[in-house]
Amino acid sequence: MNETCISIRHLSVFYGKSVALKDISLSIPGRQITAIIGPSGCGKTTLLRSINRLIESTDETRVSGEILVDGQNIMDRRLDVTALRKKIGLLAQKPSPLPMSIYDNVAYGPRIHGERDRKALDRTVQDCLQTVSLWDEVKHRLRAPASRLSVGQQQRLCLARSLAVRPEILLCDEPTSALDPVSSQTIEKKLVELKKDYTIVIVTHNIHQAIRLADYVIHLYLGELVEHGPANEVFEHPKEERTRAYINGTFLADIKFDKELDLKGTKCPYNFVYAKLALDDLAEGNILRIIVDDPTAVTELPRGMEADGYEVLNSNQLNKTDWEIVIRK
């Protein structure tokens, strides 16, 4: 199941005179979610767009090296790019419905590839819309313009459009960055569901999203490959100092809490019990932030949480008396 699906060898990409990617070599496992992380402008999107050769549409791009998809070098000039892109779907950052109806958006790909049979198209459209949980919302207005859908629905429609040509690989370029939290969650859930059938590569600047979704992680910095490996290894024991710094830095800067609890004035072990009760109400992977002012709690509470199998992400003194402790279920 987890055989290598995409392998990249000595890939370098130049935009005019500037280098976007420097000699990248790595393998992306099949039927897993691989997250490409790194700060803005580090080449995440370039790497992603190399895989379906969409970087060619930018003027003055030069590429060297190889990318093997299913053992075939896609940088080969003789390769049929349309066949490659049929095999590799793309979910863009901003929902980009085509200027046509909901139905035609999903049927667009199959029609391009020669499907004319009305019944087959109907079935594909329904299947794909059901896969992304959009069918029930739109089945009565398939002929309505796609632009009338909400942004979250549009992004699901775009996912359905990608799936309609039955790809093997799905490339996602920060697919939730333009969405509200609920829509983001829906997309993430869909991606997790889809990984049993698809190899998914997702670019994200949201480290928590990477932690939630990724099985495999690639960390890029200024066009260089810093580190890559299975997600738990990279996140828990990064080999590179730069990866550790990036993960921690992002954590403190833009952490998103699922629940916050003010436990000032409570003593041990009551604050521990309250925190445990709060965690019981949360879903797996959710993040709880608590504030305590009991000095004993600062050392004992994280220890107790770790012992009970929770992950303490951070514990941090806010002011003279108060401490912040961040726990993940």
Partner 1 sequence: MEKGLSRLIGRRWADLAATRLMFVATVFVASVAVFIGIGLLLKSWPILEARPLSELLFSSVWCPSRGEFGFYPFIMGTLWVTGLAGIIALPLSLLSALYLAEYAPNKVRALVKPALDLLAGIPSVVYGIWGILALSLGGISIGFNVLAGGIVLAIMVIPVVTSVSEEVFRTVPRDIKEASLAVGATRWETAKHVVMRASLPGVAAAVVLGFSRAFGETMAVLMVVGNVARAPSSVMDPAYPLTALIANNYGEMMSVPLYDSALLLAALVLLVMVLVFNVAARLALARVQRRWA
Q: Which chain residues interact with partner 1 by CB under 8 A? A: 52, 54, 57, 59, 82-86, 88-90, 92, 94, 96-101, 108-109, 112-113, 145, 147-148, 158, 161-162, 164-165
Q: Is the CB of 9 or the CB of 94 nearer to partner 1? A: 94
Helices 151-163 and 118-131 cross at an angle (nearest 10°) of: 130
Instruction: Indicate the DSSP class of residue 147.
Output: G
Q: Is the CB of 112 or the CB of 318 nearer to partner 1? A: 112
Smallest separation, CB 235 to partner 1 (Å): 30
Smallest separation, CB 4 to partner 1 (Å): 23
Q: Under a CB-based contact definition with an 8 Å cutoff, are residues 291 and 263 in contact?
A: yes
Smallest separation, CB 8 to partner 1 (Å): 19
Smallest separation, CB 229 to partner 1 (Å): 28
Both tokens assigned to 176 = 């939730």
Q: Is the CB of 113 or the CB of 264 nearer to partner 1? A: 113
Q: Is the CB of 96 or the CB of 126 nearer to partner 1? A: 96
Closest CA to 5 of 24, 28, 26: 28
Query: Residue 218: which H helix or E strand, with range?
Result: strand 216-221
Handedness of CA 72, 73, 76, 81 (dihedral sign): positive
Q: Under a CB-based contact definition with an 8 Å cutoff, are residues 162 and 110 in contact?
A: no
Smallest separation, CB 260 to partner 1 (Å): 36
Displacement of CA 91 from its chain's centroid (Å)? 10
Smallest separation, CB 126 to partner 1 (Å): 18
Smallest separation, CB 115 to partner 1 (Å): 12
Q: Is the CB of 90 or the CB of 305 nearer to partner 1? A: 90
Displacement of CA 186 from its chain's centroid (Å)? 12
Q: Is the CB of 95 or the CB of 302 nearer to partner 1? A: 95
Smallest separation, CB 179 to partner 1 (Å): 15
Q: Is the CB of 81 or the CB of 192 nearer to partner 1? A: 81
Q: Under a CB-based contact definition with an 8 Å cutoff, are residues 106 and 98 in contact?
A: no
Q: Is the CB of 83 or the CB of 253 nearer to partner 1? A: 83
Residue 148: what are its φ and ψ, rounded to 5°?
Answer: -80, -10
* DSSP structure string for 98-146: -SSBHHHHHHHHHHHTT---HHHHHHHHHHHHHHTT-HHHHTT-TTSBG
Smallest separation, CB 169 to partner 1 (Å): 11
In terms of DSSP H, where are the helices of 237-319? 241-254, 270-281, 295-307
Q: Is the CB of 49 or the CB of 228 nearer to partner 1? A: 49
Burial of 133 (C-beta count, 10 Å sphere; 0-12/13-18/19+) = middle
Residue 165: what are its φ and ψ, rounded to 5°?
Answer: -95, 15
| Residue 161, C-beta contacts closer than 8 angstroms, at least 6 positions apart | 98, 105, 106, 108, 109, 128
